[in-house]
Amino acid sequence: MEEREINARDVIPESDITAPDSREGMHEQMSIRTAKLRELAEAGCDPFAEVSFETSCHSRDILDEFEQRDGTEVSLAGRLMSKRGMGKVSFCDLQDREWRIQLFVKIDELGEEAYEAWQKLDIGDIVGVRGTVFRTRRGEISVKVESYSLLAKALRPLPEKWHGLKDTDTRYRQRYLDLITNPGSRETFVRRNRIIRAMRAELDALGFLEVETPLLNVIPGGAAARPFVTHHNALDIDLFMRISPELYLKRLLVGGLERVYEIGRNFRNEGLSVKHNPEFTMMELYQAYTDYNGMMDITERLIARCAMEACGTTDVTYQGREIHLAPPFERLTMTEAVRRHAGVDFDAIADAKEALEVARERGIEEVKSGMSKGEVLNLFFEHFAEEKLVQPTFICDYPIEISPLTKRKPGRPDLVERFEIFIDGREFGNAYTELNDPVDQRGRFADQVRRREAGDDEANLFDEDYCVALEYGMPPAGGLGIGIDRLVMLLTDSYSIRDVLLFPTMKPLQD
């Protein structure tokens, strides 16, 4: 093979040093590893030449089924995580996608040349091994290695605390290191997969059809949020990254697809926090011939099933608090919640002027002249009630001013049939009895345009095509959106949304 001159400083940029190792220490360790790579190249051995390695099992299979596998030959592949012993016998821990298992390596089994090469392997190298399952005298289930292949040489050492990388910035920026060194992180993302599969299975069982709608929108709609803007060169038009699939999914109700859902990414050009990431995963569904009461029933079923699949129970602990996710969940109107937690009865407040006076008396700084009574009610809820909702609670009947796509509540034209589900003081889902009156919808869009012109850059744009679709007739329907990331946070006891996103949005490091 062609020899390659490799130098540690050729492969490690000055500005890219894996924490927590020092730059000097990293260069030194990489120099040793690259020297080994040169030796392999000079001996005609390319550690990256293998194109495949057939495995017969994983480490967890051996550990769980030892009685059946004892004395049998196996082949498995993974990353070396430790090495012990320098004489004619050595022990290593091999980590694959399932777990870790001990390797027993003996010079008599491999031969002197192969054993010498084995001893030169580094922690982090990826190998494939073939051998026999047995239990050591100390009782540890192991594989006696009879042959091996070096499948990939690790030129960078794992972080010094490879047994548990703690630095959160490194964990988020270099998720691969986090997955290698933190079994708990790996389990979080395994659980995330279980949660999404459980949600799909429940919706499929209820007769919903999974669909896909555009991520690039001519008009951003379905939510009050600032969109990301991009430009399509061929069409020479600006497009918006999707903030919600709602209006496309409801077009499908017009088309006769009576139960539809989508699990996918939404994008909102807003701030970052432990609860917010600019791109996030949502499940949205729409069902014809039901209302927001039907959506509450589905919400309870989905959350309870996801909890059972991810945790094996509906009683979970989140950040030290016991949360009970077995239905039924408590149901309160927004007015009732404010009355309970703020001591203010908005049914007794006559108009917006009085609402503004009460808000100023209670020290709500966000209150502005010109706000409606409904907008002030929502501020009271956010200030005094939201954080008190620890156990799952449906907050129902929202002010019409903050719900432009929702059907009015019969007998209460100032309210709409909308709910949000709150757990541990944060919102996990949002649902409506969907507005299907095209005349009313046009009026709501016109009001949103006025708000936008007055400076509200999160107000909806006027979607004429959606109004045309409604004019063909959309059946009465309920709609629901659940934030997958926040649900995963709850069911994995994760404090930050970045803990449940494989690659969260991060500000680039400065040189």
Q: Tokens in use for 367?
A: 């209150």
Q: If residue 345 lies in a helix (H) or strand (E), which one and from where to where? A: none
Task: Give the pLDDT confidence score for residue 511 in this predicted structure.
Answer: 60
Is residue 282 pLDDT above 80, yes or no? yes
Alpha-carbon gap, residue 266 to 453, rounded angstroms: 25
Which is nearest to 468 in space by CA: 262, 288, 318, 254?
A: 254
Task: Give the pLDDT confidence score for residue 6 in this predicted structure.
Answer: 40
Whether cis (ω within 30° of 0) applies to the bond prior to 20 is yes
Whether cis (ω within 30° of 0) applies to the bond prior to 504 is no
* Backbone φ, ψ for residue 422 (5° rounding): -115, 135
Which residue, chain included where needed, has tokens 């009355």?
339
pLDDT per residue over 222-241, tens digit each?
A: 888 899 999 999 999 999 99
- At 163, the pLDDT band (50, 70, 90 cuts) reads low
Which is nearest to 344 in space by CA: 329, 355, 353?
A: 355
- At 135, the pLDDT band (50, 70, 90 cuts) reads very high
pTM (2 d.p.): 0.88
When mean pLDDT is compared across 169-173, 207-211, 230-234, 266-270, the lowest value belongs to: 169-173
Q: Tokens in use for 141?
A: 């289930």
The most confident of 115-119, 217-221, 335-339, 412-416, by mean pLDDT: 335-339
Task: Give the pLDDT confidence score for residue 115 in this predicted structure.
Answer: 93
pLDDT per residue over 386-433, tens digit each?
A: 999 999 999 999 999 888 888 999 999 999 999 999 999 999 999 999
Q: Tokens in use for 198?
A: 């459980």
- What is the four-CA torsion angle of 479, 485, 488, 494, rounded to 10 degrees? -140
What percent of the chain is predicted at pLDDT more than 70?
Answer: 94
Task: Give the pLDDT confidence score for residue 161 in this predicted structure.
Answer: 55
Q: Where are the beta strands (DSSP E) in 69-136?
A: 73-84, 89-95, 100-106, 126-135
Contact 157, 143 (CB under 8 A): no
Task: Give the pLDDT confidence score for residue 454 in this predicted structure.
Answer: 83
